[in-house]
A and B are shown apart, each in its own frame.
Chain A
Amino acid sequence: MIQRHQRIVFWCLVLCIVGMGVLLAVERQRGRERIEALAADQTPLDAPTATAETVTLDLANDDDGTITPASRQIALPEEANARARALIEHLIAEYALPGSPHTLPPGSAVAEVFFVPLPLVGYTTDPSSSATKDGGFRSTEPVAANDPDPLQPKQPGGELAVIDLRSTFVNQHPSGVEVESLTLRSILGTLHANLPQIEQVRFLVDGQARETLAGHADLLRTYPVTDTTSSANRANEGQSN
């Protein structure tokens, strides 16, 4: 026969199990309601505009070394940095399509695009101010950079775009003077056509400076952003001469 104190322990344990089950069910329901509430309010930061807009992509052709403008209907984000990045990604995606005249590997090419207002301004310590008693720095004052030409904006509001390419894209890029130059000129021309505030471009790869794109085209210099389709006209002149 079961003793009385064993029956008391048994029913206590049953009570605890039922209580824990109820508690678990209540907490689970609360968690679900919290997630649903968050999902209802959350909007993506870089959500594209509802309507697609017409943009110009400067497309390269390896066969004749030309760059020709082409219109596309693309939904782009509002923010300028995200817009520049999306433009370049769409451009590279065009080159990854089968039958492209300038074949590039598929996948994301750009990690980030940063805008720096021109002229570039650095900071220097003010020699007239004294260091703080606790060994802190002297006061600083902004100074214009020493380079006269490329660091000055041509138009008010001109900006330098720093394009941080992904190494996965760069390492798979075809090697050659023409194919590398066309990729860079295509990017520069597309930015020029759609984001006129960008006057100059510098390239990084995974956040680091790199000598060349794939062994040829210089990635260390600052490129002026111009209409690169005019270069195609020059190539045609060379052929006709």
Chain B
Amino acid sequence: MTLTGRAQTATQPSLPARQSTPAPSSPPSVPAPIPFNRRVIVLDPAHGGIDSGSQISDTTLEKDVTLALAFRLRSLLTARGFTVVMTRDADSAAEPDAAGSALTLDDRAGVANHAHAAACLLLHATGSGNGVHLYSSELDAAEGQPTIVPWLTAQAAWVPQSQLLEKQFAKAFTRSGVTLVASSASVRPLDSLTCPALVIELAPAGDKEDSINDTDYQQRVALSIAGALLFWQNQVQPPARLSTASSAAANQTTAGEQP
């Protein structure tokens, strides 16, 4: 696991539950708000190590493109005052204290969820199609986040925010003249994330597959994302946390959405 190390110490302006002690007379059923860091962004460059992802061209692997895009994004976001958490910043995603063992997809979701970020971006790349492909979760939106979050449908409470973020990105890419396809998809570990989360799949700029490595093109895409996130940090709102009784009902409902 490779973290910037700043996520854990980031300021948490929207944590009233930790800043004030609830009065003894307050009703016990009112749940604490969800911890949330407006200035933390999680970047997950997909694949890595022995998992090279798709073979985009004879000399280009998906894992290398996603890492290159993540580095560009990290520089731009850090310059704009964000704290960036990356699930890997080398070829392989590995836990530093576990003898180099590779992170699973669920481990990556765990890293993202602990950051309580304003946005979690799963970066992918492909040789088919053109421009940028944006995907939000296919889960049905839930009213709020239950106390005990079901792992396979954790994203359900955040789906409305993810869809808003998708629209923000769509506007930014359209302004930049980047070809865009926006839809929803089931890509692990998207549905296990407790943050506004999107899959961003980078496709070649033109007909040639190697154009995906064009530095100007990647920079234009990264600038669009960074610009959209600058607006997003003031708009994002975490979902309400459901009370214990509501959580039980929500858990029973969402447990069936995925086996």
**Distance in angstroms between the alpha carbons of A216 and B130 in the assembled complex:** 18
Residue numbers in A under 8 Å from B183 (CB-CB): 65, 181, 231, 234-235, 238
Residue numbers in A under 8 Å from B180 (CB-CB): 238-239
Instruction: Classify chain A: how many residues form its interface, as a range.
Output: 20 to 34
For the complex, is A46 an interface residue (Cβ under 8 Å from B)? no
Residue numbers in A under 8 Å from B133 (CB-CB): 65, 177-178
For the complex, is A227 an interface residue (Cβ under 8 Å from B)? no
Q: Which of A64, A174, A218 has most chain B Cβ within 10 Å?
A: A218
Instruction: Classify chain B: how many residues form its interface, as a range.
Output: 35 or more
Q: Binary interface profile of B, 193-230, with partner A (CB < 8 Å = 1, else 0)?
A: 00000010101000000000000000000000000000
Q: Binary interface profile of A, 197-241, with partner B (CB < 8 Å = 1, else 0)?
A: 000000000000001101111101111000000010011011101
For the complex, is A110 an interface residue (Cβ under 8 Å from B)? no
In the complex, chain B residues 43-95 whose Cβ is within 8 Å of any chain A Cβ: 47, 51, 53-55, 62
For the complex, is A187 an interface residue (Cβ under 8 Å from B)? no
Q: Binary interface profile of A, 131-148, with partner B (CB < 8 Å = 1, else 0)?
A: 000000000000000011
Residue numbers in B under 8 Å from A239 (CB-CB): 170, 174, 180-182
Residue numbers in A under 8 Å from B236 (CB-CB): none
B255 touching A178 by the CB < 8 A rule?
no
A238 with B55: in contact, given A179-B129, A212-B188, A218-B187 (CB under 8 Å)? no
Q: Binary interface profile of A, 50-90, with partner B (CB < 8 Å = 1, else 0)?
A: 00000000000011110000000000000000000000000
For the complex, is A149 an interface residue (Cβ under 8 Å from B)? yes
**Distance in angstroms between the alpha carbons of A175 and B130 in the assembled complex:** 15
A217 touching B252 by the CB < 8 A rule?
no
A238 touching B124 by the CB < 8 A rule?
no
Residue numbers in B under 8 Å from A151 (CB-CB): 256
Partner of A238, one of B54, B166, B187, B253: B166
A181 with B185: in contact, given A62-B129, A149-B257, A151-B256 (CB under 8 Å)? yes
A211 → chain B, closest Cβ, in Å?
A: 7
**CB-CB nearest in chain A for B186:** A218
A238 touching B185 by the CB < 8 A rule?
no
Q: Binary interface profile of B, 121-144, with partner A (CB < 8 Å = 1, else 0)?
A: 000101111100111000000000
In the complex, chain A residues 12-47 whose Cβ is within 8 Å of any chain B Cβ: none
For the complex, is A48 an interface residue (Cβ under 8 Å from B)? no
For the complex, is B114 an interface residue (Cβ under 8 Å from A)? no
A100 → chain B, closest Cβ, in Å?
A: 12
A149 touching B253 by the CB < 8 A rule?
yes
For the complex, is B18 an interface residue (Cβ under 8 Å from A)? no
B124 touching A216 by the CB < 8 A rule?
yes
For the complex, is A105 an interface residue (Cβ under 8 Å from B)? no
27 A-B pairs with C-beta separation under 8 A: A62-B128, A62-B129, A63-B129, A65-B129, A147-B259, A149-B256, A149-B257, A176-B54, A176-B201, A177-B124, A177-B187, A178-B181, A181-B135, A181-B183, A212-B188, A217-B185, A218-B186, A220-B259, A221-B152, A221-B258, A223-B186, A231-B184, A235-B183, A238-B134, A238-B180, A238-B181, A239-B180
Top-3 shortest CB links A-B: A238-B182, A176-B126, A175-B54
Given contacts A147-B256, A238-B170, 10 further A-B contacts (CB under 8 A): A65-B133, A65-B181, A174-B54, A175-B55, A177-B187, A216-B187, A238-B183, A239-B174, A241-B167, A241-B174
CB within 8 Å of B: which residues of A? 62-65, 147-151, 174-179, 181, 211-212, 214-218, 220-223, 231, 234-235, 237-239, 241
